[in-house]
Chain A
Amino acid sequence: MKKGTLKQILLITDGCSNKGEDPAVTAAICRQQGITVNVIGILDDDQTEDPQGLQEVEDIALSGAGVSQLVYKQALSQTVQTVTKQAMTQTLQGFVNQELKQILGDNQSLEEIEPEKRGEIMEVVEDMGETCDLEVLVLTDTSASMHDKLPTVKEALVDLSISLNARIGRNRFCIFNFPGRKKAIEKVLDWSPKLDSISTVFPKLTSGGITPTGPAIREAMYQFGKKGLLKNLRDEDGPSVEEAEY
């Protein structure tokens, strides 16, 4: 089987959008382009577990075929990596289910198969998850209320890179924050295989009052397939062969 690349947007926010197009719509467009949209909603310590307004978090992920989760910031690190990995499995399982439908007919999905065979199929899904290449665009909400959460976000992202770089497949990360000063989003870190370098970049984030989540997702979508990414992947082609040996 050809080794593919999974594309994900990871949106980290603490509130709802209040400007521009509906984020659920732009997330749906991403999905059509083969990009999964995952959303993590950060709760304030005094917030109840079922806050008004954060319904949007779930809606975006649903239309973006991704995974969503609400967390208190203390649990962010573990959540970021769980969400990313769950979304990978979900996407890969989606592919497998499509294949199954083609082979076995419309009503077949993984759940409809007896447990013994399901196990064999899941092994294939796991293998794919371990070896496929992954591109994650992190989209961080930097509106005013996020300010005290940013150090935790930074830590969580470094942690995500530790988790994903333990895989056999290659990873590319980039970070954008929104709203940008002039555009919908602003680049914090260009596509790179690790996230260690963000420690110096992240404190420079600025904050504003508006939260244009919809337009930000749309802009983020355009960042996949940009030249920087292609160049980056090609540059890494040489060394990665050696890496794969151990």
Chain B
Amino acid sequence: MDQAWKKQSINIRPGTVIQGKWHRNRYVIKRRLGQGAIGTVYLCEWNGQYGALKISDKATSMTVEVNVLKSLEKVQGSRLGPSLLDVDDWEVSSSSKCSFYVMEYLEGEPLSRFISRHGHEWTSVFMLQLLDDLKQLHQAGWVFGDFKSDNLIVLPHPPKVRWIDVGGTTQIGRAIKEYTEFYDRGYWGLGSRKAEPSYDLFALVMVFLNIYYPKRFEKGANPKATLLKKLNDVGQLRNYRECLKKALLGGYQSSDEMRHDLLNAMNAAKHKGRSGRRRRSIHDAGSPLIEGGGIILTALFYYLSSLILP
């Protein structure tokens, strides 16, 4: 039935026209965008408009994802997932059939690439943005579940991190539907796989650790110690270390609590950075802007401007 080596990838050549069985919309496949646990995503064109078309032979799992997307659309005043444009089946031949759905196409770049290109001051901006979105999601009764770098994208002008794959989103109180080991607190022995806000907050920290450890790392004999050591070793995260550590250990029950501590840590770092700069300026009048305080100020500025310009 399901074989690991087949990976459920469906190969569709660019130019292929996919017509829905029920709604009869025609989509022209442009190129492949990515491969998820359940299906393959293609860029498609339809009535001169671009869309992201996800296709799979697993009708059941696809239906579950569509249900999630529909529920997220009902969360008012925010755009948590991509908006859903169409849901249909494609009859490849008389005997084989695939399910597909079409979402809004979000064009951006991966989180890690954005940060390496534009600088580490963006780290805290994205943390705050993600915490805001998680707050809304949790308040609506959902947990993201499969929170990982691959499921995030940064849209430009102004830079805003968005979720592109919400397939793992699970109702609070249930068992997490889908997860990736590295981001899963159960794998690290640091909590259950029950859907609760703290599950996402753990994964959020792992997303940022993944930026500094692109190849990730093994859990070793003592997973908890490994994890905390890896966190400690990242100099760029030192200002928020305590807050991130608390999130890894399940110390936050809501994203608001974590956001509060993160903002405090940013402010503290700003003050520390200022006094440090003053002392140093006696010896060296070099560019202080790349140091802590400057970074935090810029970060706050970008974060606030991203709130004003939705």
Q: Please list the residues of chain A having a beta carbon within 8 angstroms of any beta carbon in chain B.
A: 49-50, 58, 61-62, 67-71, 75, 77-79, 83, 86, 89, 93, 110-111, 114-116, 118-119, 122-123, 125-126, 130, 159, 162-168, 246
Known contacts A111-B97, A168-B173, then 14 further A-B pairs from the complex at CB < 8 Å, ordered by chain A residue: A67-B1, A69-B2, A70-B4, A70-B5, A77-B187, A86-B2, A115-B22, A118-B63, A122-B64, A130-B175, A166-B176, A166-B192, A166-B194, A167-B174
**Other-chain contact of B181, A78, A118, A123 (Cβ < 8 Å):** A78
Residues of A within 8 A of B173 (CB): 168, 246
Docked complex Cα distance between A61 and B2 (Å): 10
Can you name the residue of chain A whose Cβ is closest to the Cβ of B66?
Answer: A119
Docked complex Cα distance between A109 and B145 (Å): 30
Docked complex Cα distance between A164 and B3 (Å): 22
Least Cβ–Cβ distance between B306 and chain A, in angstroms: 33
B60 touches A93 (CB 8 A): yes
Least Cβ–Cβ distance between A177 and chain B, in angstroms: 24
* Contact residues on B (Cβ < 8 Å of other chain), bracket: 20 to 34
**Other-chain contact of B4, A71, A159, A164 (Cβ < 8 Å):** A71
A50 touches B5 (CB 8 A): yes
Least Cβ–Cβ distance between A244 and chain B, in angstroms: 11
Docked complex Cα distance between A118 and B194 (Å): 26
B59 at the interface (CB under 8 A from A): yes
Residue in A68, A77, A130, A166 with the greatest tally of chain B CB atoms within 10 Å:
A166
A166 touches B193 (CB 8 A): yes
Residues of B within 8 A of A114 (CB): 22
Residues of A within 8 A of B193 (CB): 162-163, 166
Docked complex Cα distance between A199 and B41 (Å): 41
**Other-chain contact of A166, B4, B66, B99, B175 (Cβ < 8 Å):** B175
Can you name the residue of chain B whose Cβ is closest to the Cβ of A83?
Answer: B2
B121 at the interface (CB under 8 A from A): no
A-side interface mostly: helix
A-B contact list, 28 entries, CB within 8 Å: A49-B5, A58-B3, A67-B1, A68-B3, A69-B1, A79-B4, A83-B2, A86-B2, A111-B59, A115-B63, A115-B66, A115-B88, A116-B87, A118-B59, A119-B67, A122-B60, A122-B67, A123-B67, A125-B60, A159-B186, A163-B176, A163-B186, A163-B193, A164-B175, A166-B174, A166-B186, A166-B193, A166-B195
Docked complex Cα distance between A226 and B210 (Å): 48
Q: Which of B142-187 contact A (CB under 8 A)?
A: 173-176, 181, 186-187
B39-67 vs A, Cβ < 8 Å mask (1 yes, 0 no): 00000000000000000000110011011
B2-13 vs A, Cβ < 8 Å mask (1 yes, 0 no): 111100000000
Residues of B within 8 A of A163 (CB): 175-176, 186, 193
Residue in A62, A68, A115, A116 with the greatest tally of chain B CB atoms within 10 Å:
A115
B22 touches A130 (CB 8 A): no
**Other-chain contact of A70, B3, B174, B187, B192 (Cβ < 8 Å):** B3
A67 touches B175 (CB 8 A): no
Can you name the residue of chain A whose Cβ is closest to the Cβ of B100?
Answer: A115
B80-95 vs A, Cβ < 8 Å mask (1 yes, 0 no): 0000000111000000
B238 at the interface (CB under 8 A from A): no
Docked complex Cα distance between A31 and B150 (Å): 39
Docked complex Cα distance between A111 and B57 (Å): 11
A61 touches B181 (CB 8 A): no
Least Cβ–Cβ distance between A73 and chain B, in angstroms: 12
Residues of A within 8 A of B59 (CB): 110-111, 118
Least Cβ–Cβ distance between B34 and chain A, in angstroms: 19
Docked complex Cα distance between A86 and B174 (Å): 16
Residues of A within 8 A of B5 (CB): 49-50, 70
A159 touches B187 (CB 8 A): yes
Docked complex Cα distance between A50 and B64 (Å): 31
**Other-chain contact of B87, A115, A123, A165, A166 (Cβ < 8 Å):** A115
